[in-house]
Amino acid sequence: MSSIKRKNLTPVQQQYQDFARAREPQRPIIRNCIRAFITGGTICTLGQGIQLFFMTYFNFDEKTAGDPTVAVLILISVTLTSLGLYDHIAQWGGAGSAVPVTGFANTIASASLDHKSEGLVLGVGGNMFKIAGPVIVFGVFSAFIVAIISVIITSLGGV
């Protein structure tokens, strides 16, 4: 990505960007990865625990326990977002809090809260999917393509 942009730069611009980059604090990638690992792992382990809870006390089996588990995680995430806590967890945890489904719920809740001032219909309703929208759109579209290809291959007697 960045190499494509650099081709359109003049020599002066390229020189400056190298100059600036040498004087910028680098993103602490290793530290962030460790924190993401811990945060993401914890949230997934929590999910595993919730799943076990539903399987033990509520008659769900391994296949069907996924739904209520995800719903509970979403509720927790929305609550933490509403209490103003999720963004602080995320500053520490990075992708560890953005990648699990809790991150998805956080995008919807945070956008809803911020645009409350524009009313429920246009504000909340119209902006809720600001960040989550791409996930749904590309998820659905890629699933569509993958499924079509899969169906065609199967019907041709394939894989």
Partner 1 sequence: MEKFVWAFIIGGMICVIGQLLMDGLKLTPAHTMVTLVVSGAILGGFGLYDDLIKFAGAGASVPISSFGNQLVKGALQEAQKTGLVGVLTGIFKITSAGISAAIIFGFLSALIFKPKG
Partner 2 sequence: MLQGHQSWIFKSKPVIIGSAAIGGPFEAQGNLAKDFDLLHGDIWLGQDSYEQAEKKFLEQACETAIKKAGLKKEDVQFFLSGDLINQIIPSSFTARTLAVPFLGIYGACSSSIEGLSLASMIVDSGFAQNALVGTSSHNAASEKQYRYPTEYGAQKPPTAQWTVTGAGAAVVAQQGQGPRVVSATIGRVIDMGLSDPFNMGAAMAPAAVDTIEAHFRDLNIDPSHYDLIATGDLGKVGHRIAGDLLTKHGLNIPVEKLTDCGILMYKEDQPVFAGGSGCACVATTTFGHLLNRMRRRELKRMLIIATGALLSPMSYQQKETIPCVAHAVAIEV
Q: Which residues bind partner 2 (CB under 8 A)?
A: 5, 8-10, 12-14, 16-17, 19-21, 23-28, 32, 81-82, 84, 86-87, 89-91, 93-95, 97-98, 103, 106-107, 109-111, 113-115, 117-118, 130-131
Determine the residue type at 1.
M
Nearest distance, CB of residue 4 and partner 2, angstroms: 10
Tokens for 10? Answer: 């003049």
CA atoms within 13 A on the CB side of 125: 4
User: Nearest 5°: CA angle at 51, between 132 and 136?
Assistant: 15
Q: Which of 11, 25, 84, 158 binds partner 1 (CB under 8 A)?
A: 84
- Which value, to the nearest 10 degrees, does the dihedral of the CA atoms of residues 110, 115, 120, 124 take? -50
Q: Which of 47, 54, 60, 89 binds partner 1 (CB under 8 A)?
A: 47
Hey, which residues between 86 and 115 contact partner 1 (CB under 8 A)? 94-96, 98-105, 107-115
Tokens for 110? Answer: 């945070």
Tokens for 134? Answer: 């791409």
Nearest distance, CB of residue 130 and partner 1, angstroms: 9
